[in-house]
Amino acid sequence: MTTSSVRVALRVRPLSEQEQNNVISFIPNNQQQIVLNGDRSFTFDYVYPPSSDQNDVYSTCVVPLLNKFIEGYNATILAYGQTGSGKTHSMGIGLDNIMKMSMNDHGIVPRFIHALFDHLQTKQSPHYSSQVSVSFLELHNEDLVDLLCPVRKREGLNLTIREDSHGNICWSGVREEVVANATELLEILQKGSIARTTASTDMNHTSSRSHAIFSVVLKQFLQQDTTDDESTLHSDMEISQTPIEKKLVSKFHFVDLAGSERLKRTNAVGDRAKEGISINTGLLALGNVISALGDESRRVSHVPYRDSKLTRLLQDSLGGNSQTLMLACASPASANLTETLNTLKYANRARNIRNRVAINHQQDNNNNKKEERLKATITRLKQELKSTDDFLRAVNDEMDSLKTQVGSLQQTLDQTVCELTQVKYERDSLKHQWMQATGQTEVEIQDDHIVKEYMSTIESLKAELYQTQQKLLQKNVALQIDHIDSSSTLVGSPCQSPYLEQPPDKKRKKQHRVSSKRSKIVMRKSAVPSVNNSATDAEYLQFAKFANSSNETWEEKYKRHTMPSQENNKRILQKLASAIESKHQLLHQFEKSEKRHVDQIKQLGRTVNDLVAKKTASTQHLKRELNELRTQYEARLKKQQGEQVALRRKHLQLIRSSDRLRLQQESIIDQCHRTIEKLGHEKKKLLKRIKIEADRAKEKAMQSEQEIKKMKRQEAQAVTLKKRLERELGQQKAACKRATEEIVALSGQMKQIAAILKKVMASSIALSQRNLLAKAIACASVRGYLVKQNAVKKAGGKFQVTTLQQNVYQKKKFIHKALSLYVRGQCSSHPMIRELVQKRDRLLAEQKELLSERQLVLLEDQEAMDSTEPQYMDERIDLITVELDTLNQHIDRLTTPLLEHVEQENEVNWIDDQMDQQVAYELALSLIRSLEPEEARLISEALLEDVIALKTDYLAHSSSMHHLNSVVHILQTALVQMRRASNQSAVFMTTLQSPVRTQYGLVLPE
């Protein structure tokens, strides 16, 4: 298994028609880098500018994935980006893309389908076959839909996401179609694309409203001839030539993610808004997974695959067994700058993800059965090893206990032998002293020496007999162990007997030592008289006790030997004689016992020889069987070692996966512990809060009871008050009705007064009286309007509520109308207009005078005058004509906007359009003085804005007028020159070819 990074490709789509005037710069430093907004640079594996086509994208980043897919690796392509960025177009799974007949317009998926079947066609052979199947899913509002069988959604058949035994993600209930060629696969793709959910938004006319996963599964079958060696404990070795079929199963997922979108820009409502929220939720969960996998500091932490079905489906593609390519689609428009930046950050994090990829091998044709048999054999061998280990452990425990007992017995025996030797030494020393005292012969000393040798020989033979018995017991135990080992399963080499392991030199030394001791005993028998053969070992023990007691008495007597008493010496001699006689008897008993022991030793020797012969034969037979079994075992062991290596690899993989699961579970457990602790604290806080709220509720209940009592009292008072108010309301309604009638009457009277005042104003009166009348007319008009408004509000006994803004708007409109009427009256008496009119009148008079004078001159000098030369007054006439035209246009320009403005304000019907200018001015003042404080503030702000706008327009018009005056002066000068010139055509052409300066700059001739 190797690791593979998630490769990222960036494709920038061309601008749409709406984005032609709203574009950002695309400045790549090299083929793999893009610069956004001049200060943010990003580096990817592939970068495609808007000028790149579909073939460039497919040939550079998809073809390597196709080759890996055919080799047996899993592969995935993720298309990510905002809505309308070209994801579906690049993938080629949209309906419009599939229906296109041109190969140049095909996306990634159609090109992949054609290339896949071309590769499979070239690899066809008798030993190779393949099968292609396809499935098409969509994730719409967190619901899985099978696009190849959309009826299941209506029938309520839910699709489920599961994890197989190898940890790979699979989905159950999905329909898989087996295809034989590219045409069938394209038809299935078209069928699924038709069933996919799409809708129109403000940002995209054919927006995908779901995440789509188009999966292609390739199964490849390769036949190979291998030798299959199988052997079991109950059968001989078998060698068979069996063709093994190797199967490669690889998957290619094409994931078209729905675009991220903002509801403010898409203006989605209802189902579209719900779909957009679901899409953004899934993409947010996908971003969290990419951050957890790509961030170095968070790689050990938990990866939230289960937060969304989208991340669960893509678990293998992100951090799993898959070669993954993320195709990030972006828009170059500056309006989409925020979404483009988020897309680039998203893709940049995905580059840090490491996937663990491996070829997907599967073995068929009894390989699974063989693996199961081997696993069963290994399990059985482990059980037998365990039972054998238990038996050997019990034998070792028993052997340890026996060794402990033998050690303690050996210590006791050594101590006894030492004591016996000490007693013998004391006996001999006392005997020697006695002999020196009594003067006995050498024969008696020799007899005592022979007895001493007999006793030492007996002791040594007893020790050797004990050792022989122990060895015989060990041989029997070894034979039993060999028998058990030979009957059980061969797991190791059999144990051999300790006797068989002894070399023949040691055996010969033992036999020689036993025979030499026997010959010594026989030679000594001839020099000693025979004794009774009925003595037993019990008598020997009795003799030892008696000898000890006699030695003790002899020692006491020896102490008294120096006494010069003859009687004591006689008694001592008698006792010594009796002791010697008893010792002779004991010596005969020892000889008899020795003979019996020799016979037993001979019999034991024969038995041992028979056992050795039988053991030798059985050992040879066992060796032959062991050699055969060892040969079979070694052959089977070699085979099992190879299988064990493979199983060990799988075991290591399982251990690693279990470690990962353990780490994940530990992290989950820690998180659960923290959550439990947090919930415990929250529970304590909640209980405390509940207690406090319960106390508060009790207090509130008491307060509520008091308030209820109070409210009952208030209710009784309110009923009484209601009755009183109803009576007062009836009285007020009657009064309001009378007041309304009076107001209507007063309004009519005020209108009559205003009409009378207007008639008076129309007559010729003094200026001071005109001002007073104007004020009176204005006050009457405003008062009548206000009275009428109050009457309208109180119509029908109900008050009509109007907002402050409505009142301000109405009164502002009235003020504008009054000001427009006043300005229109001032237009005729404006100093500038009067000056222009006076100037026009003077010029008209001068022009008329010059024309009449010119006519007279022409009549007098008609014959002498040259008609081609200009007269002395023609220049002045031309200038006057031009100035008159300019003055007329200027006067019209000053008077026309005022009249138009007055006509626009005619919607205010209660103000007369023929009102005198002084009355209009007083009317505006009366309206302003009748304003409330808040209304005055709002109207002042509005009027300030109007003044600023008028001032700005005035400055603009002043600059344009200054420029136009200069242009007119230049044109007048040019016109005069043209009239004076002899060659008018040349002057005219020069004037036409010279540049003209306007308010927008110089205008050059063509």
C-alpha distances in Å from residue 149, one per residue of 169, 217, 776, 997: 21, 18, 88, 75
Candidate from 84-93, 115-124, 549-558, 670-679 with smallest mean pLDDT:
549-558
Cβ-based neighbours of 818, under 8 Å, separated by 6 or more: 911, 920, 921, 923, 924, 927
The reported pLDDT for the residue numbered 218 is 92
How do residues 805-853 score in pLDDT, each as one tens digit? Answer: 777 777 777 777 777 766 666 665 566 777 777 888 888 888 888 888 8
Q: Does position 518 have pLDDT exceeding 80, yes or no? A: no
Domain positions in the chain: 2-230+237-365, 369-678, 763-803+810-929, 932-1006
The reported pLDDT for the residue numbered 762 is 57
Assign residue 181 a region (left: φ > 0; alpha: ψ between -120 and 50; beta: otherwise). beta
Q: Does position 716 have pLDDT exceeding 80, yes or no? A: yes
Cβ-based neighbours of 629, under 8 Å, separated by 6 or more: 490
The angle, 0 to 180 degrees and rounded to 10, between the axes of the packed helices 933-980 and 874-904 is 160
Candidate from 130-134, 370-374, 440-444, 861-865 with smallest mean pLDDT:
440-444
Which DSSP helix (H) or strand (E) runs through 70?
helix 63-71
The reported pLDDT for the residue numbered 543 is 42
722-733 mean pLDDT: 83
- Binding site listing: 81-88
What band does 99 get if pLDDT is binned at 50, 70 and 90? Answer: low
Give the percent of the chain with pLDDT over 70: 64
What band does 494 get if pLDDT is binned at 50, 70 and 90? Answer: very low
| 597 closest CA partner among 514, 719, 526 | 514
Q: Which residue did the predictor score with more confidence, 238 or 303?
A: 303
In DSSP terms, 247 is beta-bridged to: 221, 362
Which DSSP helix (H) or strand (E) runs through 328?
strand 323-330
CB atoms within 10 A of CB 142: 11
The reported pLDDT for the residue numbered 569 is 63
Q: What angle do CA 277, 283, 285 make, to 5 degrees?
A: 105
Q: Does position 905 have pLDDT exceeding 80, yes or no? A: no
Dist. CA 246–CA 359, nearest whole Å: 12
- Binding site listing for ATP: 81-88
CB atoms within 10 A of CB 218: 20
Phi, psi (deg, nearest 5) at residue 251: -125, 140
Assign residue 42 a region (left: φ > 0; alpha: ψ between -120 and 50; beta: otherwise). beta
How do residues 570-592 score in pLDDT, each as one tens digit? Answer: 676 677 777 777 767 777 777 77
Please classify residue 690 by burial: count the beta carbons closer than 10 Å to its beta carbon, then call 0-12 exposed, 13-18 middle and 19+ buried.
exposed
C-alpha distances in Å from residue 409, one per residue of 399, 405, 857: 15, 6, 179
The reported pLDDT for the residue numbered 799 is 40
> In whole numbers, what is the pLDDT of the chain averaged over residues?
72
Which two three-digit tokens encode residue 764? 């010729």
Candidate from 102-116, 624-638, 885-899 with smallest mean pLDDT:
885-899
Please classify residue 854 by burial: count the beta carbons closer than 10 Å to its beta carbon, then call 0-12 exposed, 13-18 middle and 19+ buried.
middle
Q: Does position 551 have pLDDT exceeding 60, yes or no? A: no
- The rounded Cα 470 to chain-centroid distance in angstroms is 74
C-alpha distances in Å from residue 590, one per residue of 544, 545, 603: 12, 15, 20
DSSP 122-164: HT-BTTEEEEEEEEEEEEETTEEEETT-THHHHHT---EEEE-
E strands along 462-612, which residues?
none
In DSSP terms, 144 is beta-bridged to: 139
Give the percent of the chain with pLDDT over 90: 4
Dist. CA 547–CA 524, nearest whole Å: 23
Which two three-digit tokens encode residue 103? 């190969």
Burial profile 914-936: b = 16 or more Cβ within 10 angstroms, e = fewer: ebbbbbbbbbbbbbbeebeeebe
Which two three-digit tokens encode residue 129? 């076959």
C-alpha distances in Å from residue 852, one per residue of 162, 862, 922: 112, 15, 50
Q: Does position 869 have pLDDT exceeding 60, yes or no? A: no
The reported pLDDT for the residue numbered 210 is 84
How do residues 133-178 score in pLDDT, each as one tens digit? Answer: 999 988 888 888 888 886 655 444 578 888 877 777 888 888 889 9
The reported pLDDT for the residue numbered 23 is 46
The reported pLDDT for the residue numbered 173 is 81
How do residues 738-756 score in pLDDT, each as one tens digit? Answer: 767 766 666 665 666 666 6
Dist. CA 605–CA 700, nearest whole Å: 112
Residue type, 989: M
Specify the pairing of strand 169-172 against strand 1001-1003: unpaired
Phi, psi (deg, nearest 5) at residue 936: -65, -40
Torsion of CA 32, 34, 40, 41, to 10 degrees: 10
Q: Does position 282 have pLDDT exceeding 80, yes or no? A: yes
Dist. CA 976–CA 973, nearest whole Å: 5
The reported pLDDT for the residue numbered 555 is 46
Report the CATH fold assignment for 2-230+237-365: Kinesin (3.40.850)
| 290 closest CA partner among 330, 328, 331, 252 | 328
Dist. CA 878–CA 856, nearest whole Å: 18
